[in-house]
Structure 1
Amino acid sequence: MEENRLGDYLRARRELVTPETVGLPPGGVRRVAGLRREEVAMLAGISADYYLRLEQGRDRNPSVQVLEALAAVLQLDAAATDHLLRIAAPRPRSRARRLRPEVAPPDVVQLLDVIGLPAFVEGQWLDVLAANPLATALNPSLRVGENRIRSLFLDPSERALHPDWEETAPRLVAGFRGRVADIADDPRVVQLVGELTLGSELFARQWARHDVRQVRGKELRIDHPQVGEMTLRMSKLAVEGTDGQLLVVHHAEPGTASAERLALLSALVEPSGAAAIVQLRGSDASTGG
């Protein structure tokens, strides 16, 4: 899947750029979507043969200057340009690191118990490692052992909670690609992408675009069956000392109807002790078992 990541990315992004947007005439009937290879090479100031070698994976050591020139031609934003640079020069990773089990730090788990807001810990593969009862009451799929990207695309009950699902799905895929850029050859990532590609036409279509976006908080609407529709802010905070874990917290703007409904949901949830936590065994973390 990842044998020619640079070439696959260049090809996918080239097909999304129209001649008009880079100042070229359409040129009548075109056999390819987007720009031709020769056009990308000309605009980037490199030879067509060299660009062909990059797409075909026969040259895997382009300079930063060449990559930045290609990023400009392909109209990549800062996040996409950073992704291009990362896949062209991936960081070495040992198998030992890949097999390390994911465990939410105890102090963060303790924070989930006292924060008073729906919150959970998301691992680098987007597994829910820990969650407090209010998070699970907000969204039943926010429970230990569930995978966020799998739930969002393959669980109909999850999608029913999100009125803006069709609009937010492309951002979810782009954020997922950005999250796993450095572990894209990991067996767990390969398994997840394969499962999602087979199970969701929307995921397959968006994954093929190779869009990338940085992890950031966002506003989302949730149509909750008990308390009604809420507009919440979802904040994502890096968990110090971990390989890509995030503390995800949902909160509402004070004084709004959403804040009142979130408070009502909190009142419906009985205190149930410590937040749940899961520890994945090394073999499971690497194989998805």
Structure 2
Amino acid sequence: MPSLVRPSAERARLLISCADRPGVVATVTRLLFEHGANVVDSDQHTEPDDLRFFMRLEFDLPGLAERLGALEEAFAPVAERFGMQWRLIPAARVKRMALFVSKQDHCLQELLWLWKKGELMADIPLVVSNHPDAREVVAPFGIPLHHVPVTADTKAQAEAATLELMRAHQVDLVVLARYMQILSGDFIASFGGPIINIHHSFLPAFVGANPYAQAHSRGVKLIGATAHYVTAELDAGPIIEQDVHRVGHRDAVADLVRIGRRVERTVLARAVSWHLEDRVLPHGNKTVVFS
């Protein structure tokens, strides 16, 4: 397993969402100060449409492991007072991430390379694919690839087997790195954790299959990729990251696919990295992404 550059065992992250009102920041930071914590990074945002307040704090607290429970207990009344949704997370706690892939492996290779270089703060216990093609790509990284074929007749059984793998490996996050199967609502609900997908289009344009062909037929001048959380509605979950690349009338569909692959892998890598660092707070069908 590659060595990861991990945050200090004394560092924690606090994520907050609540109605915007005076005193939230002062109350939170005062409580942390009273417990001996030193805030090292703070970012906040108020959504103008509904005056919802979001904050992400990083702080150091000596003896965090032993004192985290007491801090959570002290924070609970504050959270109740302000009606907060909140999470207190040790920064050194590594999420377990499963990668799903089909035949196209460019996004998979990007994530595996970043992981090997220690630039993705995660453990990757397994890769799941409905085709065996990626086995040679995954093998050098020392990660097992589980081939779970999917057909229209066996989809329910395949999803059940995949869910068992997620439970057995205690997976926190699923990343669809060009996994060309639509996950059922039952799978999404049963897994219960976040699922990130890369769609090879600048959503909400060109949802579903063959978006590059759709884009070419419309004569677009920009193509893009979108990383988003998966919901039961196809390609409609909260967007985490997007990017685009300029194309022209001389570019064929094959050119759009080739250019698009570069955008896809960087967009997905950024979205996954931000999620692993607890920088993304979903809000309805949108996200707040802290820098």
More strand by share: 2
Q: Which has the higher contact order (CA 8 A, sep 6+)?
A: 1
More helix by share: 1
